[in-house]
Amino acid sequence: MKKSCQHHHDSAPQELSTLTSRLRRESRKITGPRAAILEILRHHPHPLTNREIFDELPKGECDLATIYRAMQMLEKLGMVKRFDFGDGAARYELMGEGDDGHHHHLICTRCDTVVEIEECFPAEIEQRIAAKNNFKAVTHRLEFFGICPACQK
């Protein structure tokens, strides 16, 4: 039995048409590879690496380099958010239009299960850190690691 995620990703994913019109708006073409990539992302609640996306795609559907280029573009347009779980591979998650996609994950260090976390680093403390060091536009990158219930047995 798979543990489900009780956050925003449980809700229906964005319509593909919503995504494509967003691309069109930026004068980007809706190509086969891109539609296929967006479909994969739409149906995955958790961040995927480029290789994972590649492996989900029917073989020959799209080149790995095309995926890398697509993800870069989508990130620049703010349509996906990039995450780093510290294992040397970038991961991407689709995000809603208004949403800034800021959230964190709890990752099992044994089986790589990923759970979305709603908690975030307290804003007041972050502001204090920014003020104390005279930094502007401070944000953070935060991920949690531990052993999931299944791996504890």
Q: At what angle do helices 16-25 and 32-42 cross, to 10 degrees?
A: 130
Q: Least distance (Å) from a second copy to the CB of residue 64?
A: 17
Q: Least distance (Å) from a second copy to the CB of residue 151?
A: 9
Nearer Cβ to DNA, position 3 or 24? Answer: 24
Q: Least distance (Å) from DNA to the CB of residue 82?
A: 9
Nearer Cβ to a second copy, position 24 or 102? Answer: 102
Beta carbons of 84 and 91 less than 8 angstroms apart: yes
Examine residue 84 and tell whether it contacts a second copy (CB under 8 A): yes
Kind of pairing between the strands at 114-117 and 104-108: antiparallel
Nearer Cβ to a second copy, position 21 or 109? Answer: 109
Angle, CA of 21, 101 and 52, to the nearest 5°: 80
- d(CA 122, CA 63) in angstroms, rounded, equals 41
SS3 103: coil
Footprint on this chain of DNA (rule: CB under 7 A): 23-24, 27-34, 49-51, 61-66, 68-70, 72-73, 88-90
Examine residue 122 and tell whether it contacts a second copy (CB under 8 A): yes
